[in-house]
Amino acid sequence: GENVEQHPSTLSVQEGDSAVIKCTYSDSASNYFPWYKQELGKRPQLIIDIRSNVGEKKDQRIAVTLNKTAKHFSLHITETQPEDSAVYFCAARDGGATNKLIFGTGTLLAVQP
């Protein structure tokens, strides 16, 4: 089955800097890769996603890149702000019969003002 690894587990940046979180997956049949942001005590919020037929997708200050050959995808946040502080989870849709999302272990991002 699918396995997703996420790095780093914690990331501290200064306000205005960029942040990059990386994930690798094992199942070459996976075709959908979402990113969720979860603030303390809140629900996971879908912030951006990418399908396997696309290499990059941007939405204002956030972008996701996908390298199917290397089986990794990354979240890029530019001009970070204190409100970006949260736990970020990557996920991959299992390419098998279940079609379930397999989540990474999460990255705690702290943006220092």
Partner 1 sequence: DTEVTQTPKHLVMGMTNKKSLKCEQHMGHRAMYWYKQKAKKPPELMFVYSYEKLSINESVPSRFSPECPNSSLLNLHLHALQPEDSALYLCASSQVQGYEQYFGPGTRLTVT
Instruction: Rank residues 24 and 44 by Cβ distance to partner 1 and give the closer one.
Output: 44
Q: Which residues bind partner 1 (CB under 8 A)?
A: 32, 34, 36, 42-46, 49, 87, 89, 93-94, 98-101, 103-106
Instruction: Rank residues 61 and 100 by Cβ distance to partner 1 and give the closer one.
Output: 100
Minimal distance, residue 25 CB to partner 1, in Å? 14
Minimal distance, residue 98 CB to partner 1, in Å? 6
Instruction: Rank residues 43 and 69 by Cβ distance to partner 1 and give the closer one.
Output: 43
CB 68, CB 57: distance < 8 Å: no
Cis omega (within 30 of 0) for bond into 82: no
Euclidean distance between CA atoms 107 and 22, whole angstroms: 9
Q: What is the dihedral of CA 111, 78, 8, 95, to 10 degrees?
A: 130
Minimal distance, residue 16 CB to partner 1, in Å? 27
Joined tokens for residue 22? 């990386």
